[in-house]
Copies of this chain bind each other. A is one copy, B any other.
């Protein structure tokens, strides 16, 4: 690599935007170009416009950087988008049409036919959609997305099982962290001494996104995987880390040991390419009977892995287990950064002259 690529961050003052900025500090391949936010913040230095909520300290270099509007023309080789879905639809298209690669964490474009819903460990072949997308939009720019924070933790564990044994049914009950709702997000009154049994729009995402991610790319299309998913989503008083109680049935029934080994030994392209943000182990399996726990395990593999524990037979489906993912790292900004790293490794991100 010669010089670092400059990344602009859209939605830089939000909770996902803050994670982008924190994770890009000292990144070996990327450096922060422009930062952009909505109208109120434009023209302000970052530390005045942003109420920093990430538990790691704010990088000093961004403190006095001035916020731009979310419009093409930013000094950047490509764009990370941490925009809310309600805004992302149009803005991300504007950037793609203006020639920027857009690496988005937003939900808006995820399920569109020619937009990759990319998890580098799982479906790097879906990147072939990009050329179709570029044809349609007649632009050198494009949009690549990563999944919802709950989906990605789940699908990292489902992928090796699906490839090895063929998933038939997946039931998942989630206990999701506060940071997943953005800021201010959930009211303190609603979560102290409480659990909320409902997160708007979340179950739909978890029940559909994995089928696209695990689908086969063929003749310019992604054929959805065919198995049933049921999601029941809850919000708990935890800062970071989505815990998910999962049960699965499969076509080819493995032994318990085979199942564990299949999860624990899972390695894929990002590990082979040694991408800077790739976890050494995409799925970490813990043996202790009371793990994974959000507080203790969310930072394993720097928050880029799915941590699995309590794997055991299920009297209703075949096997059940708990899994945990760091929802603002692998579940958001970290996922997008890993996507960008794969794009760069594939020659699909380049420095502008």
Contacts and interface: CB of A to CB of B under 8 A. Distances in A.
Interface stretch (A79-87, A144-152, A155-163, A310-318): A310-318
A181 B190 CA distance: 13
Interface stretch (A67-75, A165-173, A275-283, A329-337): A165-173
Interface string A292-321: 111110011000000001100011110010
B56 A194 contact: no
A193 B294 contact: yes
Given A56-B299, A57-B300, A230-B315, A239 B173 contact: no
A183 B239 CA distance: 20
B179 A234 contact: no
A189 B239 contact: yes
A349 interface: no
A232 B320 contact: yes
A5 interface: no
A351 interface: no
A186 interface: yes
Contact of A230 (B52, B228, B320): B320
Given A57-B299, A322-B197, A184 B189 contact: yes
Given A175-B175, A187-B183, A229-B316, A192 B245 contact: no
A234 B315 CA distance: 18
A228 B171 CA distance: 15
**Which 7 residue pairs of A and B lie closest in terms of their CB atoms, listed nearest first?**
A184-B187, A173-B173, A198-B290, A230-B316, A194-B295, A193-B193, A197-B322
Interface string A257-293: 0000000000000000000000000000000011111
A234 B295 contact: no
B245 A291 contact: no
Given A55-B299, A310-B197, A192 B315 contact: no
